[in-house]
Chain A
Amino acid sequence: MNPLKKYLFNERNGNGHALGPIQEIDVPMRRFGEEEVDYVVIGVGSAGGVLLQRLARAGFRVLGLEAGPFWNTERDWVSDEAGSHNLYWEQLRITGGTHPLALGANNSGRGVGGGSVHWAAFTPRLHPSDFRIHSEDGVGIDWPMTYEELKPYYEQLELEMPVAGPAYYPWGDPHGYAYGPHPMGGAGDVLIQGCTKLGIGVSIGGPVAILSGSHGDRQHCIYRGFCIQACKVGAKASTLITHVPDALRSGAEIRDDSMVSRIHVNKENRVTGVSYFDVHGQEHFQRAKAVIVSGYAIETPRLLLNSACPGHENGLANSSDTVGRYLMAQAGNVVLGRFHDLVRIYKAPPAHALTEEFYETDSKRDFARGFAIQTVGPLPIAFAKQMMTAKGAWGWGLRRIMMDYNHWAAIALLGEILPWPENRVQLAEAKDRFGIPVAKVTFGLHDNDEKLIEFGKNKVIEVMGAAGAEEVVQETRFAHLVGAARMGTDPRTSVVDKYGRTHDVANLFVCDGSILPTQGSANPGLTIQALAARTGDYLIAQGESIFNTNHRDMMQPAIRRDLAPPGTYGRGVPRLANLTS
């Protein structure tokens, strides 16, 4: 029996497949079967969703292999914390080092849409300085590209998601958003009050990839507060609803529940295809003319390391010994303040106001780089765990403080941690259910990181106090993951070039958060999608030469706005239409 489902949507839901209360897909999906495709994209998340859409629209035969399920949002998603575990990559990973990272719910997605299904959807851009921190501050490494190269893609993806935010955003490269900002919730009010009292500028109502007004077949936000549990409303952007529908309409195929175990390379050092396990545990080989790995900062290096073979003994595309190294998380200390009056923090999206006033290096401080301060919105279980660590609460004490849940507000640090070679992903001895070795993650902080966190944490505490909190506590934690297959110009110190092509294998690409050489203090989602659209344009411009030659053409492609999903143009606030270059 061919385990590949022929018509995924019809099989699962006779009346079409819900991607929100209004949006639906009812087209049978194209099926390539075992025939060779042009591109296999491994992982259909933030980057993979955009890549599939671009490549399919340009006419390539493209197949996405996704380890998790293809969601039917009405059936599979719930407004419930404990009921949302299946959104996260919760399979075994080993974590260690001096500051072990918690993995899973707050940083790893699974299923079509990947992390963009459960992100809070803050979408700040990186600042121009982020692309050259080694030149400017002598730390980290410079990007192999400038902000100006990525800027058109920031503008483009802000329209495709689209992003709601203020008409004027003052930090980094000042810009504005074509969609209006959101109203405030309790955490936003606290951030505004605290910042205003201290004379700190604050951005209200965005930038977030959440609809402030209805848009095509997606409805506007209803402020229910369950963003991180996946947006059943369809207001928060995920590639599942912004790019995947157009990818399928354009002839892409997505095979869900398909866990890639190995990438194959032939004697000519060309990728020939991938092995993957289907939902029944049966192994398949899929031939492809080129492969793009979009598995994010842990699964991408894990797959490359697990694909070691003659000629690539230390892991595929790892002649630099950089695969898995320079893994980064951002400092994410959550500061919680108790207020005399009720806050009811569970309403409104967790992400709705922020400040980047402390983003850049300041010579008056004793560390390089900086941080942002953002709203967060812990629901009861997350809040209880925060109180366990922030206050040591347990037993009756935990019950007591939880009865005060509605009096507490939370805002958080988002601080830049620099890339370090010993912060890395390796293979553990333990194996997953398919027998594939799992990832072992090692993480630790350095002097600059610790000074930055100490200063940043105290600044957030100061803001919380200025907002009028009676009691202020904080929980040390980390947010997001990037790095571990970084891009660069030097093949001796990086895995891929600035278009995501591995230095070692000409028809193997990496495109996801793992290629970021440094991370700034911006949530990575927008940058990842912008990079994916740019890599898409590069691949499309290169055409067949990717499949036939080892020639590496570094010419910058022209941006292909015409390949965006329909409905991207002519929307938003008209006076900002000219902002896109």
Chain B
Amino acid sequence: MKGRTSVQPGYYPGFSTLGQQANWDEATRATVLKRVARSLELHFFTPEEAPLIEAIFEHILPQIDRDEKYRIPIVPVVDERLHTNRLDGYRYENMPPDQEAYRLGMQAIEEIARGKDGRGFLELTPLEQDKLLRTLHDGKPEGAHHIWERMPVHRFWMLMVQDAAEAYYAHPYAWDEIGFGGPAYPRAYMRLERGEAEPWEVEEQRYEWEAPEDSVSDIYELISGHDLHQATPGQGGTH
């Protein structure tokens, strides 16, 4: 990829779930189309906060490999959740409300950046930004400890990654990228076994996919070394 962008990354060239919308039920079609055409206006994050939170999410779930027109809005989705106070059904006893968590987290990230050589997060190079965020992933933030005392760093990290995943993988462009068939009512699936594609799905065509060189997030390790019980993120139900 290396600097080149595309309409559709992934191994399923030409696959379009939106192209199947005639086979979806009305309510599902309305929900998905509304998502594709969503407003990018922000209500929770202030104009001053917007560039910082945008920059952070460009690393949490990067998509500079996508053509500008085919990028998936993440910050506006998080913004709406915080603005309307839609919860996942719980809050950890050692976490502030999500809205406060985001404000504290942004403050901490900015503080860590400035603590090094006075540059703010937005003034760092993409690689430096990536490396700073990785310290949060690793549970070893280099600064802003007064904030992490009020909010466990791994919980804040998971909050961001979850919100990013929930926004990105809810979008039909992401479904096309990963070869997920998308809505299937009332049409149904008929080829259940051996990973076979439906007649309207696309066969996988693999190639050597590479992350940009100025990033560190393609190589990661299991978060460990501190009191982290995994069984905690706001998982969608699996059972």
| Chain A residues at the B interface, C-beta cutoff of 8 Å | 21, 74-83, 85, 88-96, 98-108, 118, 120, 122, 183-186, 189, 222-226, 228, 232-233, 332, 334, 341-344, 346-348, 350-351, 374, 376-386, 388-400, 402-406, 410, 412, 414, 440-441, 475-479, 523
Contacts of B89 in A (CB 8 A): 88-91, 93, 102-105, 108
The reply to whether B238 and A102 contact each other, CB–CB distance below 8 Å, is no
- Chain B proximity of A460: nearest CB distance (Å): 13
Q: Please name 8 pairs of A and B residues whose Cβ atoms are closer than 8 Å in the assembled complex, sorted by A.
A: A93-B91, A226-B185, A233-B185, A380-B174, A385-B162, A389-B233, A397-B211, A402-B177
Count, chain B residues at interface, CB 8 A: 83
- Per CB-CB distance, the 9 closest pairs between chain A and chain B, nearest first, are A104-B89, A395-B217, A342-B195, A96-B93, A222-B188, A106-B237, A82-B170, A224-B184, A396-B211
Contacts of B133 in A (CB 8 A): 395
* Cα–Cα distance between A397 and B137 once the two chains are bound (Å): 13
Check: B60 CB closer than 8 A to any chain A CB.
yes
Contacts of B216 in A (CB 8 A): 395
Check: B32 CB closer than 8 A to any chain A CB.
yes
Binding site secondary structure of chain B: loop
The reply to whether B193 and A21 contact each other, CB–CB distance below 8 Å, is no
Q: Identify which of B87, B137, B229 contacts A392 (C-beta below 8 A).
A: B137
Contacts of B194 in A (CB 8 A): 186, 189, 341-342
The reply to whether A348 and B185 contact each other, CB–CB distance below 8 Å, is no
The reply to whether B235 and A477 contact each other, CB–CB distance below 8 Å, is yes
- Chain A proximity of B82: nearest CB distance (Å): 14
Chain A CB within 10 Å — which of B26, B169, B181 has the most? B169
* Cα–Cα distance between A351 and B237 once the two chains are bound (Å): 12
* Cα–Cα distance between A343 and B195 once the two chains are bound (Å): 4
* Cα–Cα distance between A380 and B62 once the two chains are bound (Å): 17
Contacts of A103 in B (CB 8 A): 89-90
- Chain B proximity of A101: nearest CB distance (Å): 8
Q: Identify which of A75, A233, A394, A410 contacts B220 (C-beta below 8 A).
A: A394
Given A344-B195, A392-B222, also A350-B204 (CB < 8 A): no
Chain A CB within 10 Å — which of B90, B186, B191 has the most? B90
Q: Identify which of A94, A380, A478 contacts B180 (C-beta below 8 A).
A: A380
The reply to whether B230 and A350 contact each other, CB–CB distance below 8 Å, is no
Given A228-B236, A351-B239, also A186-B192 (CB < 8 A): yes
- Chain B proximity of A17: nearest CB distance (Å): 14
Contacts of B69 in A (CB 8 A): none
Given A392-B220, A523-B239, also A93-B90 (CB < 8 A): yes
**Which of chain A's residues has its CB closest to B81's CB?**
A85
Contacts of B217 in A (CB 8 A): 394-398
* Cα–Cα distance between A183 and B89 once the two chains are bound (Å): 34
The reply to whether B169 and A381 contact each other, CB–CB distance below 8 Å, is yes
Please provide the chain B residues from 28 to 82 with a CB less than 8 Å away from any CB of chain A in the complex.
28, 31-32, 35, 59-63
Number of A-B contacts (CB under 8 A): 303
* Cα–Cα distance between A389 and B230 once the two chains are bound (Å): 6
Check: B196 CB closer than 8 A to any chain A CB.
yes
Please provide the chain B residues from 155 to 186 with a CB less than 8 Å away from any CB of chain A in the complex.
158, 161-162, 165-166, 168-170, 174-175, 177-186
The reply to whether A388 and B161 contact each other, CB–CB distance below 8 Å, is yes
Contacts of B232 in A (CB 8 A): 100, 102, 389
- Chain A proximity of B104: nearest CB distance (Å): 18
Q: Apart from A398-B161, A398-B165, what are 10 other A-B pairs with CB-CB below 8 Å?
A: A93-B89, A105-B235, A189-B193, A222-B189, A346-B180, A381-B166, A388-B161, A395-B60, A395-B215, A406-B195
Contacts of A344 in B (CB 8 A): 179, 181, 195-197
Check: B120 CB closer than 8 A to any chain A CB.
no
Check: B22 CB closer than 8 A to any chain A CB.
no
* Cα–Cα distance between A476 and B220 once the two chains are bound (Å): 19
The reply to whether A348 and B60 contact each other, CB–CB distance below 8 Å, is no
Check: B212 CB closer than 8 A to any chain A CB.
yes
Given A80-B28, A391-B220, also A185-B180 (CB < 8 A): no
Chain A CB within 10 Å — which of B180, B231, B238 has the most? B238
The reply to whether A395 and B25 contact each other, CB–CB distance below 8 Å, is no
Contacts of B186 in A (CB 8 A): 21, 222, 233
Q: Identify which of A104, A348, A381 contacts B192 (C-beta below 8 A).
A: A348
**Which of chain A's residues has its CB closest to B227's CB?**
A98
Contacts of A334 in B (CB 8 A): 238
Given A104-B88, A388-B162, A476-B230, also A347-B170 (CB < 8 A): no
The reply to whether B231 and A81 contact each other, CB–CB distance below 8 Å, is no
**Which of chain A's residues has its CB closest to B26's CB?**
A74
The reply to whether A100 and B92 contact each other, CB–CB distance below 8 Å, is yes
Contacts of A404 in B (CB 8 A): 178
Contacts of B219 in A (CB 8 A): 397
Check: B94 CB closer than 8 A to any chain A CB.
yes
The reply to whether A380 and B87 contact each other, CB–CB distance below 8 Å, is no
Chain B CB within 10 Å — which of A81, A396, A479 has the most? A396
* Cα–Cα distance between A379 and B35 once the two chains are bound (Å): 18
Contacts of B178 in A (CB 8 A): 380, 402-406
Q: Identify which of B10, B61, B223 contacts A403 (C-beta below 8 A).
A: B10
Q: Identify which of B86, B193, B233 contacts A186 (C-beta below 8 A).
A: B193
Check: B11 CB closer than 8 A to any chain A CB.
yes
